[in-house]
Amino acid sequence: MLEFAWWWMIFALPLPLLLLISKKQTAQKESTTQAIRVPYFAIWTSDANAAPAPTKRSTRLAIWLLWLLVIVAATRPQWVGDPIELPASGRSIMLAVDISESMTEQDLKVNGREVDRLSVVKHVLEQFIEGRTGDRLGLILFGTQAYLQTPLSFDLETLNVMLTEAEIGLAGPNTAMGDAIGLAIKRLQSQPEDQRTLILLTDGQDTASRVNPLKAAELAQSANVKIYTIGVGADIAYRRTMFGTMQVNPSRDLDEKTLKGIADKTGGDYFRARSTDELEAVYQAIDKLEPVEVEKKTYRPTSDLFYWPLAFFIILWLARHSPWRSVMRKRSALSQSEVSNNAG
């Protein structure tokens, strides 16, 4: 639709007429004060009773048309498009997922079938990611090394695809929690301070970081990054051996003390997920602790149109003051003079 950003400029339209009236009143009072001279409006001060010549009438019309084009351009006409919904500016959350060799342990179940821990994490995280519409999410995968799989983005569908394609051992067999935290800090520091969140999931202990995880947590605290840590893996599992079925603890290497320390230092929480249901409950709890921003914003694209009346003004102005116009007038005057001389 068409809108005028500075519509109040239309009130300037009768300004030349007011100046003309003021000039006439001044002349009638025979004031000694010199009247204001307004370019191109002097012709309006001619005797109102006299029959205007055709040239004067066309000049008046041209001047009024030029003034109208100036006023229309000054009102700043714009074409405003349909509203476009923008992504809500919610939280910025980095997901750090352990893909070390220990994630091959099959002590958790999905739909009644035992699968490796990473498959369970993918299954649960998919639902968590889909529910974070309006947030910027990014994905860090870590093993012996930590690397950025997906930068912070509103494109949650692509993030889910990249998570699905993650493979155990791709980043090495060991665990580098401290490096994963450091990488997350680097990626979150450009975001608003109240929106920086890291959710770190692992099933073991740090064995490969160049930066101690607790030291990395202190850096996260100074950068206002809140960290939620999740320890995943069952406490009890049964394994068949040559001596029969034995009960083992597949999470014996899980460093819960360090995970709790990381969460405490940064104002987050530590969660223990011993089953698929518990892991789902963990992400539901984080959803409540870090609610999604639901406020929606819209944007209406606008295109300025003031240059159209301005262009017509310039064209008409140049047409009336073109050198060729003066030349043609002189030629016309000379021709009329010659005709008069010949007639004489």
Tell me how far apart the alpha carbons of residues 229 and 199 are, in angstroms, rounded to a whole number: 6
Enumerate the β-bridge partners of residue 153. Answer: 137
pTM of the model: 0.62
Tens-place pLDDT, residues 8-18? 888 888 888 88
pLDDT bracket for residue 57 (50, 70, 90): confident
Sign for the CA dihedral angle at 64, 69, 75, 79 comes to positive
**Which tokens sit at 77?**
């006409």
Closest CA to 116 of 7, 211, 232, 21: 232
Enumerate the β-bridge partners of residue 196. Answer: 92
Do the strands 113-115 and 108-110 form a parallel or antiparallel pair, or are they unpaired? antiparallel
pLDDT, residue 88, reads 55
Tens-place pLDDT, residues 69-127? 888 888 888 888 777 765 555 688 999 999 999 999 998 999 889 899 999 999 999 99
Any idea what the Cα angle at residue 123 is, between residues 160 and 133, rounded to 5°?
A: 45
Closest CA to 134 of 174, 181, 85: 85
**Which tokens sit at 237?**
């599992």
Percent above pLDDT 70 for the chain: 80
Instruction: Sketch out the chain's domains with CATH numbers.
Output: 2-81+302-343 (no CATH), 86-296 (3.40.50.410)
As a residue count, the chain comes to 344
Q: Which residues contact 294 (CB under 8 A, 6 or more apart)?
A: 88, 134
